[in-house]
Structures are given as structure tokens and as C-alpha cells.
């Protein structure tokens, strides 16, 4: 049974409540003069409970009042950051190390291989095509000339089965909204096709290459593109050479405004597979349509939201699915659509102790990617589920890719860890051998760093893993500046990966710790569910326990320990900062979900109710209010130095989350520790951000930590 720990909220008797201790006040220093933020009279009624929302006006992003506040906050923040000794040295070192080649994992269509490459400091990666084995790569699509500031990015790509057409979507200034275009692969010229008002969708080509399926929304009201909720997605079909207004709607459900549709066409071209999701809930339904049958109806093959079903491939009428039904760590099943009843299903790959993340079908071989204590393991099986061995990986780390078709003899994958940049391999399925396809070179001594994995005990006795990376020869003297990072949600696993900013941090003498909290996907659905809904406090307990372990083991100390997380991880940082401000020397909550009572009111926020619950539900309201970062800030408490980051075009986690949180925390701060907010312009939630902005963000984060943790100015 999973034990639940309610979050504590400090009131008048704060000193008597466990978990509400405040940090000791530092020596007197000059307080910052924060920009004026008028408090409004808005009070909401949640089933009889009155909750003030004094900064509701900040939800109007384009109002003169909000814009004036944003400009003033950025002026204060950048004047603070620019005065930090060593900031420019950090920027110079980040720029030097960021200047290395980076590649995506290739995929093959019509005998052509497609991949992206960034030469180093290019704003956006460029897409290349290899027309045949041994051919020289040629540029297919370069998004860099599309904008002067590099903020137009390629988001999603899909190539027709014959390799002739590339459908690709563009995102502007980091927005989730996408515009689809179509390019002739041979000529590298665009056709006239343009598709608008799409997000969270792939393009699935029909076998004949004449068009593709995709999902779209209705155009939002003018001026509300970054705020309006996104409901009623429709599955459409676009035929090349026609206007989007002529695209027929293949499937829609006006009785279920939350349903979203993911299209996929089977390798043989026979079936359209429709994966039906509700928000971010990992459980889904699966429908299909026989594209070869005249007037075919859409068949609801898996009509219940009872488990996760990931379509892997088909052998005629036999469909293969990766599922966690009756197997929380995942298994592979075969369903014959002529006998779809559950009693006729065949288990191909049974559940193991490891978490099955993905399965692909290449060269009549199932390639199964697992997580083993948050590190990759890749196993091979024949079509009947007989084990065929494994893919030999280089070390503890993360392997991704392994796409392809049943008829392909080779596939590609990438491998990375904390000291290995993403290296791309070509894998011969028949001989089970890997050869390097592209290997980046970084201008640093990567052998100077070591990684270890520790397991610590959380508040309720749960064993939680954590990766630790640092320069070899680290002394456990309790004085090492440390960044503790985590995410803990949405069934998303956090695994070892290479980061230039982390590398620079370690060059500066820092320790980087990655905690694999409950709520993530490291150990299957049970691990995920242990951090959902009213059990969200488990995630915060896991994070706090990680911090306490690092201090107890003398990796660091309270005044040298910083915490960092983004999005759901920003929520994590905000929540534990309220619960244990005494435990940390600095905090960086990035693009966080900070208002847990109103998150569902903006853009795609409603979709997260399947993870968090909603304040509209009287049963969930108390739990959400108990840990909501915005609503548990304690006036007069001494919070550690905090740098909040967001972006003005974030239409996933609405920027007002961070705006209201920053204003409230600044007003509540009971000591001179700075509370700053850095608001990036022409940027979104993170995807597609140009290299210069990535370097700028990392520069300011690391510089802030050197100041907050009282580190010497770096010399490289």
C-alpha cells in the first residue's frame, strides 16, 4: 500500500509544524528594491473556500501593466547578473564547449537516410539526406535563414514511404503551434501546401504518398493564441496540392472535447491506426480503419482507457502492442483483429523486472528498450518472442532510436551519458553489431569526470536511485557546490545524458546530482502512480530526502546545495522550497507550474488533470492547495537566493504561473536573499530554442549559482 504524506502549510504556529522550518537569516546585506506589483481584490470561491489571487492581472500578458512589470523585472535581474564576477568567463567557456557537432538518429524511407546536424553554434540544426549508401550528405532543409534571430525551428518531420516528400512543421518563438509544409526531397524545394493551427500531432503518410493524416484545432480567437484552452482536436487528411480548407475530417468526437488523435499508417499501408489520448494520461484507446476497404468504418479495437497501448507493427491482421495492462513494467502482446477478444490475445514478450519503454520491429526482430535502474538495456526477440541476445552498449547511459521497417536490415541509435556526447551508431540486426555512424568531439577532457549511482531512502522507506557526476578525486568534505536536479512526473524517466552546462559546472568544481523520483517512468506504472494526484507529496519527500542524503554523505552542505528543475520540475522546486527553505542554498525553478488551482484554465493545461487532478474537483482541491507553490509561500520566511525563469511565448506552461509566483515570493521574502525572475523574449517552453539563447540561459543560471553559493570566480 502506498503511504500518502500531506503537504504542510505554515500559519501562525509555523514553528510547531514539521517541515515548515525557515532558513537562518544570513548576515545583513542590502535588500533589492523589487518592481512595484499592485495587489488586486480578486478572490475565488472553491466549494466554499475563499482563495485570494492578488496578481490575477498578470494573466493578461499583453496589457501595459504586465509589460511594464516584465520590463522592470528583467532590468533588475540582468543588472544583478551582469555584476557577477566571472559571468563572461562562464559564457566564453560555454560557447567554446557548445561548438561541437551534434546529430539526430537517422531514419530511412525509400532508400534514403534522413538526419539533422548542428555544426556547433548554428541557431538551429540543419536537415540532411543521404540518397544512397556511400553518398555524400546534402542539405535538405535549413531553417536558419527563416528568421534573423534563429527562433523559427523545425519541430516534427515525416517522410513519405517512397522517400520523395518531406512533411515538416515549423514553430516560431518556441510556440507549441505548428505550421506544416511539404518539400520535394529531390529538388529541396517546397510545394505550396500550408497547414495551420496544429499542435501535438505527427503526419502519417498513406502508402501511395499522395497525402497524410494529421490533427488540428480550430483557430483560437484573435489575441488569445497563447492563452486560450485547446479542445476539440480533429483528425484530418491532407491531399498534396490542395488547400487546407479542403481537407476532409477523418474522425472527430464533439461529445469528447478532450480527446486527441495520433495517426499512424501500418508499414503495409493497409490500416490507419488511431491512438486516442485524453491529455497526458498514459492510458489510451486504439481504433483502426481498413484503408483498402470501400466505405470502411473506424473500428474501436481497444475502446477502454484501461492501460497504455503503443502500436509496434503488424503482420497482416495481427497487431503488436507494447502495453502495461496487467504488467505495470510493460510487455508485448499480439492481437488478431479477426478475433479481438482479450481471451484470444497472445503474449509475445512477458513482463520482466525492468521497465519496458519502447519496442520496434526491424528485420523481423523485436528490439525492446528497457530501463534497468534508470539506465538503458536493449534486448532482441524473434517474432515469436524467443530471446536473441542484446545490443552491447558502451557503459551505463541512455540508448534511443532503433526505428525502421520489418524489411530493413539495419537500424540506427544514439548513446549518451553524463560524459559522452550523443554518439550515433549503425546497428546490423542480423549480425548484432554496432558501428559508429557519427561521433561528436568536445573540446574538453571528458575522462576527467566520474559517474556513480547511489540509492537512498525516502521518508516512507522507499528506495530511490540517484546519479552523481563530478570531477575525479572529489573530496567528501561537505563543501562541494552541488546542483540537485529532478523531474518526478508524467511517467517520464530521467536518464543519463550529456550537457555542456553540466560539464562547465563540473569544471568549476561542482557536483551534479540527478534523482529519479517517484512520478517518473523509471520503474513502470506503479512508480509513476506513486507520485500522482494526492500522492504527489511522495515526489517532494523523495527530493527532500535526496538533499538530506547529499548533506549527510558530505558531498555538500546546506549553504552549498542548489536545486533545479523545469516545468513539472519547476513545480517540484517551488513546492520543496516552501516546505524546506532551510535545506537549500539556492533554487532555480524553470518554466514551472506554480498555480495549481488555475493551471487547467490555460492552453493545454487542462490535459495535466490526469496527472495532478483539478481544483474543479472538490476531492482534489485540498491536496492541490496543500502544495501549490503559489499558495504556500510564507510571508516573513527567509527563502534562499532564487532565480525563476520563464519565457514570454511559453504557450504550454502559461508565463503568468512564474509571474505571479515571483511577485508573491518577492513580497513575502523575510531576508535580503535575492528573488529574481529572468523572462526570455521570443522563446517558449524550451523546444526549438536557438543555441545563443541556450547559452545565455545557462550562463546566467551558472553565474547566479556562483554568487548564491559563494563560489570563487571561475578560471578555465
Active centre residues (catalytic): 567, 685
Answer yes or no: are the C-beta atoms of 227 and 602 closer than 8 Å: yes
Which of the 8 DSSP states describes residue 626?
A: H
Query: 45-51 long-range contacts, Cβ below 8 Å, gap at least 24?
Result: 46/597, 46/615, 46/621, 46/625, 47/618, 47/621, 49/621, 49/625, 51/597, 51/625, 51/631
Q: How far is residue 132's CA from residue 137's CA, in Å, rounded to a whole number?
A: 9
Chain centre to alpha carbon of residue 306: 24
HEC assignment per residue over 673-690: CCEEEEEECCCCCCCCCC
- Looking up cell 525563469, which residue turns up? 645
**What is the full DSSP assignment across 361-391?**
EETTEEEEEEEETTEEEEEEE-TT--EEEE-
Q: How far is residue 4's CA from residue 520's CA, in Å, rounded to a whole number?
A: 17
Q: Which of 709, 699, 715 lies closest to 77, judged by CA?
A: 699
Any bridge partners for residue 565, and if so which?
A: 589
Q: Which of 403, 407, 416 lies closest to 114, judged by CA?
A: 403
Q: Helices 537-552 and 568-579 sit at what angle, rounded to 10 degrees?
A: 70
Which of the 8 DSSP states describes residue 26?
A: P
Q: Which helix (H) or strand (E) holds 226?
A: none
Q: How far is residue 84's CA from residue 108's CA, in Å, rounded to a whole number?
A: 48
Q: Which of 507, 510, 485, 480 lies closest to 496, judged by CA?
A: 485
Where in 458-553 does DSSP place strands (E)?
463-471, 482-485, 511-515
**438-453 as b/e, with b when 16 or more CB fall inside 10 Å?**
bebebebeeeebebee
Answer yes or no: are the C-beta atoms of 641 and 707 closer than 8 Å: yes
* Grid cell for residue 95: 560557447
Dmax (CA) for the chain in angstroms is 79
Amino acid at each position: 500500500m502506498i503511504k500518502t504524506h500531506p503537504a504542510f502549510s505554515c500559519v501562525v504556529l509555523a514553528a510547531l509544524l514539521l517541515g515548515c522550518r525557515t532558513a537562518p537569516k544570513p548576515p545583513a546585506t542590502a535588500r533589492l528594491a523589487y518592481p512595484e506589483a499592485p495587489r488586486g481584490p480578486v478572490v475565488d470561491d472553491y466549494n466554499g473556500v475563499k482563495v485570494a489571487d492578488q496578481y490575477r492581472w498578470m494573466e493578461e500578458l499583453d496589457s501595459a501593466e504586465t509589460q511594464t512589470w516584465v520590463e522592470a523585472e528583467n532590468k533588475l535581474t540582468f543588472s544583478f547578473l551582469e555584476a557577477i564576477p566571472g559571468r563572461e568567463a562562464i559564457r566564453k567557456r560555454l560557447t567554446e564547449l557548445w561548438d561541437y557537432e551534434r546529430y539526430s538518429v537517422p531514419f530511412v524511407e525509400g532508400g534514403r537516410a534522413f538526419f539533422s546536424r548542428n555544426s556547433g553554434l548554428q541557431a538551429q540544426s540543419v536537415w540532411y539526406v543521404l540518397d544512397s549508401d556511400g553518398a555524400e550528405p546534402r542539405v535538405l532543409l535549413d531553417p536558419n535563414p527563416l528568421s534573423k534571430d534563429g527562433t523559427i525551428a523545425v519541430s516534427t518531420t515525416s517522410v513519405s514511404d517512397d522517400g520523395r516528400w518531406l512533411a515538416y512543421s515549423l514553430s516560431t518563438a518556441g510556440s507549441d503551434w505548428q505550421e506544416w509544409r511539404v518539400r520535394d526531397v529531390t529538388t529541396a524545394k517546397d510545394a505550396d501546401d500550408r497547414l495551420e493551427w496544429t499542435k501535438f500531432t505527427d503526419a502519417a503518410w498513406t502508402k501511395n504518398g499522395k497525402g497524410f493524416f494529421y490533427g488540428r484545432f480550430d483557430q483560437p480567437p484573435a489575441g488569445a493564441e497563447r492563452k486560450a484552452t485547446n479542445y476539440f482536436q480533429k483528425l484530418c487528411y491532407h491531399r498534396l496540392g490542395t488547400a487546407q480548407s479542403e481537407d476532409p475530417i477523418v474522425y472527430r468526437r464533439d461529445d469528447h472535447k478532450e480527446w486527441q488523435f495520433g495517426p499512424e499508417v501500418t508499414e503495409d499501408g493497409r490500416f490507419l491506426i488511431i491512438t486516442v489520448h485524453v491529455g497526458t494520461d498514459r492510458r489510451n484507446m486504439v481504433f483502426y480503419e481498413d484503408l483498402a476497404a470501400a466505405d470502411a468504418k473506424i473500428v474501436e479495437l481497444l475502446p477502454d482507457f484501461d492501460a497504455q497501448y503503443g502500436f509496434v507493427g503488424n503482420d497482416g491482421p495481427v497487431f503488436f502492442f507494447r502495453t502495461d495492462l496487467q504488467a505495470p513494467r510493460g510487455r508485448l502482446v499480439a492481437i488478431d483483429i479477426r478475433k479481438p477478444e482479450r481471451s484470444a490475445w497472445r503474449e509475445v514478450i512477458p513482463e520482466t523486472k525492468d521497465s519496458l519503454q519502447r519496442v520496434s520491429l526491424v528485420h523481423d526482430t523485436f528490439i525492446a528498450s528497457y530501463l534497468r535502474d534508470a539506465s538503458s538495456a536493449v534486448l532482441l526477440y524473434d517474432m515469436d518472442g524467443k530471446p536473441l541476445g542484446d545490443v552491447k552498449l558502451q557503459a551505463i547511459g541512455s540508448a534511443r532510436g532503433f526505428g525502421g521497417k520489418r524489411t530493413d536490415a539495419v537500424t540506427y541509435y544514439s548513446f549518451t551519458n553524463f560524459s559522452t556526447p550523443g554518439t550515433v551508431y549503425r546497428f546490423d540486426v542480423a549480425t548484432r553489431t554496432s558501428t559508429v555512424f557519427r561521433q561528436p568531439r568536445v573540446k574538453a577532457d571528458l575522462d576527467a569526470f566520474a559517474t556513480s549511482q547511489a540509492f537512498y531512502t525516502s521518508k516512507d522507506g522507499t528506495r530511490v536511485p540517484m546519479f552523481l557526476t563530478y570531477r575525479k578525486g572529489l573530496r567528501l568534505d561537505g563543501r562541494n557546490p552541488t546542483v540537485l536536479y529532478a523531474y518526478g512526473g508524467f511517467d517520464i524517466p530521467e536518464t543519463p545524458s550529456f550537457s555542456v552546462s553540466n560539464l562547465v559546472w563540473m569544471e568549476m568544481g561542482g557536483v551534479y546530482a540527478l534523482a529519479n523520483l517517484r512520478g517518473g517512468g523509471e520503474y513502470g506504472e506503479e512508480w509513476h502512480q506513486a507520485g500522482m494526484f494526492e500522492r504527489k507529496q511522495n515526489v517532494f519527500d523523495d527530493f527532500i530526502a535526496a538533499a538530506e542524503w547529499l548533506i549527510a554523505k558530505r558531498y555538500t552542505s546546506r549553504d552549498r546545495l542548489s536545486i533545479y528543475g523545469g516545468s513539472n520540475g519547476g513545480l517540484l522546486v517551488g513546492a520543496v522550497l516552501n516546505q524546506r527553505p532551510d535545506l537549500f542554498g539556492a533554487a532555480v525553478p524553470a518554466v514551472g507550474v506554480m498555480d495549481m488551482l488555475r493551471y487547467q484554465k490555460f492552453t493545454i493545461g487542462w490535459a495535466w488533470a490526469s496527472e495532478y487532478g483539478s481544483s474543479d474537483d472538490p476531492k482534489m482541491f485540498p491536496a492541490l492547495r496543500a502544495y501549490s507553490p503559489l499558495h504556500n509561500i510564507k510571508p516573513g520566511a527567509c527563502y534562499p537566493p532564487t532565480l525563476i525563469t520563464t519565457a514570454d511565448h511559453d504557450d504550454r506552461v502559461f508565463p503568468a504561473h512564474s509571474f505571479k509566483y515571483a511577485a508573491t515570493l518577492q513580497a513575502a521574502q523575510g531576508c535580503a536573499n535575492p528573488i529574481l525572475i529572468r523572462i526570455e523574449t521570443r522563446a517558449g517552453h524550451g523546444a526549438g530554442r536557438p543555441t545563443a539563447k541556450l547559452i545565455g540561459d545557462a550562463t546566467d543560471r551558472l553565474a547566479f549559482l556562483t554568487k548564491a553559493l559563494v563560489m570563487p570566480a571561475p578560471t578555465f
